[in-house]
Amino acid sequence: MLEKNGIPTHFVRELSERETLVKKVSIVPLEVIVRNIAAGSFSKRYGVAEGLVFDEPVLEFSYKNDALGDPLLNTSHALALKLATPAEIETIKGYALKIDRILQRFWAECGVTLADFKLEFGRTSDGRIILADEISPDTCRLWDSATGEKLDKERHIREECGVFGVFSRATSDVASLAYYGLFALQHRGQESAGIAVNDDGVFTAYCDEGLVNEVFPKERIKQLGTGNIVVGHVRYATTGSDRKRNAQPIIINHHKGRMALAHNGNLTNSYELRNRLEQSGSIFHTTTDSEVIAYIIVQERLRTPSIEEAVYAAMGRIEGAYSLVISSPTKLIAARDPHGFRPLCMGETADGKTVFASESCALDAVGARFVRDIRPGEIVTVSYDGVKCDTRRCGTAGRHLCVFEFVYFARPDSVIDGAAVSSARQRAGAFLAAEHPVEADVVIGVPDSGLDAALGYARASGIPYGIGFTKN
């Protein structure tokens, strides 16, 4: 697309899904940032509200130097440091602005706004300046044109949340159980926390920005009162100013009762579903996929005999990754997408409470024994009538647990789909040692998720394991 529009690039051809042949260049040590809308570091640096649309694109340069932290500089600095000639800088500016126009048109046709992006350029052997960078969501800040929802990597790579739920036959302090469960899942979400207590159909909920212990001091837990069902959620940090609005659980009122929903994952058809819902009169209060799921379930609940049947019908309409914990006035439901992208497990306390959690470490935190993982596609409903499992959607899609659960997201003492996270990371390190042996004096892991992998590498390679990084 760029070459056809007169932008010379280093691309030659794709060799495979993972390999690309490119022209050899000498990288110009100037990173170019093109900004169409104020966001991120620009808003913080200049005190400008995020979302301000510039009359003309803003070009920024940073000096590509890791030791200095890639500082911003102007063209005078670049010339003084002999990073580029005056002619090269003008060529880079011209290409950057032209690429911006091309990309803005492209993304606009997809219903997406290009807020800003980064580029790097290189010199060929004959001295020509060409684009020497990959343009992808990793280098672009993208927003949904209709909703303003963040679509760039800062949103999606951090969209790992934690969900938790308890069903108790007797009225009890289920809010405290949710507190300890969410505290154990804090690594999955540090932006906001929320708890919804259901006391025989009367819902009391509180959500706010912050860590679990900040949002829920003892007084707040007492205010939530007692109940027989609780749903909790922790959300990972994302960009944007709508953090409190996006906190969960989401509470929905409808003429068949109330519903509290906590969700971990991302839908791939959220945009289409949201548009249809809005056209039919739905009013959204957040920018999350979770609210889309909640509205879809409510729609289905109005024409099905039970909440579990509504969840089953909704799963036929939503696509992507989701692990859900849902409270109706009388039932607690856990559901996992047919691919099993996100983890979800079930436990039981000594006094018979049923517990659902994103990871088994949360079961340990509340004294519950691990019963089993929720199967991909399964719906588990807990009520005073007992536990009922719906497996009609199980086996309808291939299993694809997100590998980053084992690499990064999950706590090392958790067990996911029958595999201990700590052992899996050590095995990954051993495989890495076999596939990529090196001569080294010491193997060092980056805390926390890299420690087990480093230990596995050290054991398999015979290279001593050492500590080189510590958290302050």
Instruction: Report the run of H or E that residue 454 belongs to, with start and end.
Output: helix 450-461
The residues pairing with 20 across neighbouring beta strands, listed in sequence order, are 14
Q: What length is written for the chain?
A: 472
In whole angstroms, what is the distance from residue 28 CA to residue 26 CA? 6
Local structure of 92: helix, strand or coil: helix
Three-class DSSP category at 233: strand
DSSP state of 22: E
Q: Give the amino acid at 262.
A: A
For residues 401 and 166, what is the distance between their CA atoms, to the nearest angstrom?
A: 24
- CA-nearest of 138, 135, 132 to 64 is 132
Q: What is the C-alpha separation between 355 and 429, in angstroms, rounded?
A: 33
Is residue 320 within 8 Å of 266, Cβ to Cβ? yes
Say how far apart CA 113 and CA 203 lie, in whole Å.
39
161 is known as an active-site residue: yes
Q: What share of the chain is helix, strand, coil (3-state, %, to 5)?
A: 30, 30, 40
Q: What is the DSSP string of 411-459?
A: -TT-EETTEEHHHHHHHHHHHHHHHS----S-EEPPTTTHHHHHHHHHH
- Cβ pair 188, 409 in contact under 8 A: yes
Nearest of 67, 33, 37, 64 to residue 52 by alpha carbon: 37
- Out of 161, 207, 361, 402, the active site residue is 161
Instruction: Reduce the DSSP state of residue 405 to 3 states and report it.
Output: helix
CA 12 vs CA 8, 9, 82, 126: distances in Å: 11, 8, 29, 17
Q: 137: which 2 tokens?
A: 């969501």
Q: Using CA atoms, how far apart are residues 421 and 411, in angstroms rounded to an integer?
A: 7
Name the β-bridge partners of 199: 202
Unique residue bearing structure tokens 């080294």: 440
Helix/strand/coil (H/E/C) assignment for every residue in 136-169: CCCCEEEEECCCCCECCHHHHCCCCCEEEEEEEE
| Pairing, β 354-357 against β 112-123 | unpaired
**CA dist., res. 472 & res. 470, Å (int):** 6
The DSSP secondary structure of 293-309, one letter per residue, reads: HHHHHHHHHTTSSSHHH
Q: Active-site residue numbers?
A: 161
